[in-house]
Amino acid sequence: MPEPARAAIDLDDAQARARVDPGGMMGLVVDFPQQCRQGWLIGQQLSASLRRPRQVVITGMGGSAVGGALLASLLEHRSPACFIVNRDYALPEIVGKDSLVIAVSYSGNTEETLTAFETAAEREAQIVCVTSGGRLAELAAQRQVPVISVPGGQPPRASLGYLFFPLLAIVERAGLAPDQHADFASAVRTLDGMREHLGPDAPGAENPAKQLAGRLVGRMPFVLGSTPWLGVAAYRWRTQCNENAKMLASSNLLPELDHNEICGWADQEGTASRATPVFLRSSFESDRMRARLDATIEIIGAHAQVEQVWGEGDSPLAHALSVIYFGDFVTVYLALLRGRNPMEIAAIDRLKSVLGGNA
């Protein structure tokens, strides 16, 4: 289907936005800072005591996996345990009594996560579930597994505040992370400030998220970030392009892309001519990574118009959440510009109905 004209809707026109987004995805994005506050409070209510594990395995799919990926990326180099993000039916063989398995499914009905939960229980791992209900809540009750219950009724991808902050509370409780309250509070203040200048009421002439969305219409975004947490943010941008804007997108990690993908940008007679590199950056990059990024941008920039989005705030947590928040706005604006309802995920719904049961 041909790309709709860029001016299909005026992003500053509230009525036009509401026509394309009748389910209110934009409102959910705007409310993200408040959802983070609620997610933090929900996590603090966890009453179970937990033993310190050797491994933390966070198992979930799609929108329910991204909080775990973010947690692992923020803690993996500063925690005594090893973190594994599992997006599959099977769990790694290493999972056993010394493991903490966190099963995350927003609906509670995702078959891969239910299967992994049963395996974790059979192997006598410590388990905590994060869900709004469904079969996972029932199985957890049968096996007397602690559950962190989050509010239901919205898309999993619009529930990151509910699905991330409880995980932080779980690993704090298991003795794997220091108190995060100060970082949390300042990260959410950063998000509050961003909402004002990226949100729908900020006119396009002064709104960098609306402007970037305008430049990405008709292009294929390649979202690029350095390990560990900017790479997770890049992956989140990609999946939000997929689900919100119904666009194909790519994501990749530095330093790895310097050893392969960097060559592909020279293909100006092929895919690269239609792709836009979007680098996610942070002042927390190490000196060496900054030098690498600057050199990479110079090489890729000889072939393509490079976009850069910088993290905000005073901690890695704030920077990670801020680039994710920026991307959530961009992908909903992209959906609107393309005339695609950002709430609708017909292909995923169809796949789940074809497979039946708890897909």
Piece of the chain touching ligand PA5 by CB under 6 A; list 7-15, 150-158, 180-188, 304-312: 150-158
Is-cis flag, bond preceding 92, omega within 30?
no
Piece of the chain touching ligand PA5 by CB under 6 A; list 75-83, 151-159, 226-234, 256-264: 151-159
What is the closest distance, in whole angstroms, from the C-beta atom of residue 350 to ligand PA5 in the complex? 12
Question: Is the CB of 86 or the CB of 110 nearer to ligand PA5?
Answer: 110
Helix or strand or coil: residue 147? strand
Specify whether 97 is catalytic.
Answer: no
Piece of the chain touching ligand PA5 by CB under 6 A; list 22-30, 155-163, 292-300, 308-316: 155-163
Burial code (b: 16+ CB inside 10 Å, e: under 16) for 311-340 equals bbbebbbbbbbbbbbbbbbbbbbbbbbbeb
Calpha distance 273→3 (Å, rounded): 16
Specify whether 206 is catalytic.
Answer: no
**Alpha-carbon dihedral angle through residues 73, 79, 85, 89, given to the nearest 10 degrees:** -170
Q: Which of 35, 59, 79, 105 binds ligand PA5 (CB under 6 A)?
A: 105
The strands making up 99-105's β-sheet, listed across from edge to edge, are 82-86, 55-59, 99-105, 126-131, 147-149
Does 168 sit near ligand PA5 (CB under 6 A)?
A: no
What is the closest distance, in whole angstroms, from the C-beta atom of residue 334 to ligand PA5 in the complex? 16
Calpha distance 105→118 (Å, rounded): 14
CB 293 within 8 A of CB 299: no
With DSSP H G I counted as helix, E B as strand and the rest as coil, what are the percentages for the chain, rounded to 5? 50, 15, 35
Does 67 sit near ligand PA5 (CB under 6 A)?
A: no
First to last CA, the chain: 29
Which residues within the stretch 328-347 sit at the binding site for ligand PA5 (CB under 6 A)?
A: 345
Per the listing, tokens 């987004």 go with: 21
Does 64 sit near ligand PA5 (CB under 6 A)?
A: yes
Give the contact letters, 240-279, x = binds to ligand PA5 (CB under 6 A), - = no. Answer: ---x------------------------------------
Of the candidates 93, 196, 259, 269, the residue annotated as catalytic is 259
Q: Which of 29, 61, 85, 103 binds ligand PA5 (CB under 6 A)?
A: 61
Does 107 sit near ligand PA5 (CB under 6 A)?
A: yes
**DSSP code of residue 204:** G
Q: Which of 39, 62, 166, 311 binds ligand PA5 (CB under 6 A)?
A: 62
Q: Is 339 left (phi over 0), alpha (psi -120 to 50) or beta?
A: left
**Phi, then psi, of 130 in degrees rounded to 5:** -125, 120
Calpha distance 82→200 (Å, rounded): 40
Calpha distance 125→174 (Å, rounded): 13
Does 327 sit near ligand PA5 (CB under 6 A)?
A: no
Does 113 sit near ligand PA5 (CB under 6 A)?
A: yes
What token pair was written down for 158? 């619009």
Of the candidates 243, 285, 307, 312, the residue annotated as catalytic is 243
Does 72 sit near ligand PA5 (CB under 6 A)?
A: no
What is the closest distance, in whole angstroms, from the C-beta atom of residue 345 to ligand PA5 in the complex? 6
CB 254 within 8 A of CB 168: no
Specify whether 243 is catalytic.
Answer: yes
Does 148 sit near ligand PA5 (CB under 6 A)?
A: no
Piece of the chain touching ligand PA5 by CB under 6 A; list 29-37, 72-80, 116-124, 153-161: 153-161
Question: Is the CB of 39 or the CB of 277 nearer to ligand PA5?
Answer: 39
What is the closest distance, in whole angstroms, from the C-beta atom of residue 64 to ligand PA5 in the complex? 3
Q: Which of 157, 195, 210, 236 binds ligand PA5 (CB under 6 A)?
A: 157
Q: Which residues bind ligand PA5 (CB under 6 A)?
A: 61-64, 105-107, 110, 113, 155-157, 243, 345, 348
Question: Which residues have a catalytic role annotated?
Answer: 243, 259, 352
